């Protein structure tokens, strides 16, 4: 779906545009928000707040950047605020089925091993500082180019490259054993 | 950049975060909330204003409107007490007050006003 069509649809207050934008960017933004919060629930809340902000402020969007960049920045801001305020948030019991993983066709044993690996990688990522987590997310998970990341974060290409290099190095140290296992 | 290393990182990260998706339930909730916002924006301004006021009332009456109402009531009570005849300041001396007499002295064409305490103790409160 073309971004311009979605923007036009949202500006004309058409419901199909809501459907399209959530389907197009919902999962990507959740991953980015997770990289900031290291908490799935807070990440989802941040994404929801970002989409609601989009609906309220769409008229002020001038299209000098892509819709995704705009949404990404809003999501990251919400995620950072939520992380900052997390210590005094009231903890409420959550429903179990709130999160879904992608369809799963693995055997139970494979699933246990892979869940453990996923948890370990998520824990390792949360040990990196925010700028490093952001570049890892944008480069490896969102598949953006260095130039696009630089524009999105408002830093130079050199900064992105050096952050990427340090992030890889630190992730390598943290995941040392898993590296070796992967090589084997 | 080492392509092998790059692939290794990608594989690990896609294993770690690849399955992280927004749930169907949350997606529906987000879409419903967004659709509601758009539906509201389609309404005429006066209707939107009424809805906003109603929401403001529901969201804040316990935390800000109640103290405001209590403060307002206290202010009204103070004004009523101030204008009540029983609380109006009096001119007559009270028991134990020193009474001053204002004297105007004229001498060589100049006029001076002096206040002389008349050393008189008020025995009986003039109000009684």
Question: Tens of pLDDT along B25-66?
Answer: 889 999 999 999 888 888 999 998 988 888 877 776 666 777
- Does residue B8 sit in the same domain as residue B47? yes
A:87-146 residues touching chain B, CB 8 A cutoff: 97-102, 114, 117-118, 120-122, 125, 136, 140-141
Predicted pLDDT of residue B122: 53
A:67-86 residues touching chain B, CB 8 A cutoff: none
Q: Residue A35: what are its φ and ψ, rounded to 5°?
A: -65, -25
**What ipTM does this complex have?**
0.73
Instruction: Say if the Cβ atoms of A100 and B21 lie within 8 Å.
Output: yes
**How much is the pTM?**
0.65
- Does residue B79 sit in the same domain as residue B32? yes
- Does residue B47 sit in the same domain as residue B78? yes
Predicted pLDDT of residue B55: 81
Chain A residues close to B11, C-beta within 8 Å: 182
Q: List the domain range (segments joined by +) for residue B30.
A: 3-87
- Does residue B107 sit in the same domain as residue B128? yes
Mean of pLDDT over chain B: 78
pLDDT band with cut points at 50, 70 and 90 for residue A93:
very low
Average pLDDT over residues A57-62: 87
Indicate whether A78 pLDDT > 90.
yes
Mean of pLDDT over chain A: 81
* CATH code matching the domain that covers A3-86, chosen among 3.40.50.10470, 1.10.1740.10, 2.40.160.20, 3.90.1170.50: 1.10.1740.10
Instruction: Say if the Cβ atoms of B34 and A55 lie within 8 Å.
Output: yes
* CATH code matching the domain that covers A105-183, chosen among 1.10.10.10, 3.40.710.10, 3.30.460.80, 2.60.120.380: 1.10.10.10
- Does residue B109 sit in the same domain as residue B52? no
Predicted pLDDT of residue B120: 56
Q: What is the pLDDT of residues A126-181, one digit of tens each?
A: 888 889 989 988 988 888 899 999 988 989 999 999 999 998 888 888 877 555 55
Least confident of A48-57, B20-29, B65-74, B117-126: B117-126
Predicted pLDDT of residue B1: 46
Predicted pLDDT of residue A86: 66
* Cβ neighbours, 10 Å, residue B39: 11
CA A87 to chain centre: 21
Predicted pLDDT of residue A26: 92
Q: Is A177 on the interface with B (CB under 8 A)?
A: no
Write the residue in B10, B37, B39 that is nearest to A52 by C-beta. Answer: B37
- Does residue B43 sit in the same domain as residue B80? yes
Instruction: Report how many domains make up chain B.
Output: 2
Predicted pLDDT of residue A95: 46
Give CA separation, B69 vs A31, A76, B60, B62, B72, in Å: 46, 39, 12, 11, 5
Predicted pLDDT of residue A106: 61
Predicted pLDDT of residue B18: 65
Predicted pLDDT of residue A179: 58
Indicate whether A102 pLDDT > 70.
no
Predicted pLDDT of residue B127: 53
User: Where in chain A are the domains?
Assistant: 3-86, 105-183
């Amino acid at each position: 779906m073309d971004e311009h069509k979605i923007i036009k649809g949202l500006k004309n207050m058409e419901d199909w545009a809501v459907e399209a934008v959530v389907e197009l960017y919902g999962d990507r933004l959740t991953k980015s928000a997770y990289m900031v919060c290291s908490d799935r629930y807070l990440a989802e809340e941040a994404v929801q707040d970002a989409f609601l902000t989009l609906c309220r402020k769409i008229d002020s969007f001038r299209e000098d950047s892509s819709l995704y960049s705009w949404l990404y920045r809003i999501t990251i801001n919400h995620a950072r605020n939520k992380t900052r305020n997390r210590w005094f948030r009231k903890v409420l019991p959550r429903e179990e089925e709130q999160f879904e993983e992608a369809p799963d066709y693995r055997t139970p044993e494979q699933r246990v091993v892979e869940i453990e690996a996923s948890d370990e990688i998520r824990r390792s990522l949360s040990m990196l500082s925010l700028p490093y987590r952001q570049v890892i997310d944008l480069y490896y998970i969102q598949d953006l180019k260095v130039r696009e990341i630089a524009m999105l974060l408002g830093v130079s290409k050199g900064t992105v490259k050096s952050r990427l290099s340090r992030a890889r190095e630190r992730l390598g140290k943290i995941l040392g054993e898993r590296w070796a296992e992967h090589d084997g | 950049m080492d392509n092998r290393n790059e692939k290794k990182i990608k594989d690990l990260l896609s294993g770690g975060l690849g399955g992280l998706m927004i749930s169907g339930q949350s997606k529906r909730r987000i879409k419903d909330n967004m659709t509601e916002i758009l539906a509201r924006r389609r309404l005429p301004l006066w209707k939107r204003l009424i809805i906003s006021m109603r929401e403001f009332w529901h969201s804040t009456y316990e935390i800000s409107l109640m103290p405001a109402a209590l403060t307002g009531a206290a202010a009204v009570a103070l004004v009523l007490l101030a204008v009540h005849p029983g609380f109006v300041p009096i001119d007559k001396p009270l028991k134990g007050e020193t009474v001053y007499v204002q004297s105007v002295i004229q001498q060589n064409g100049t006029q001076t006003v002096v206040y002389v305490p008349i050393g008189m103790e008020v025995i009986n409160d003039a109000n009684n």
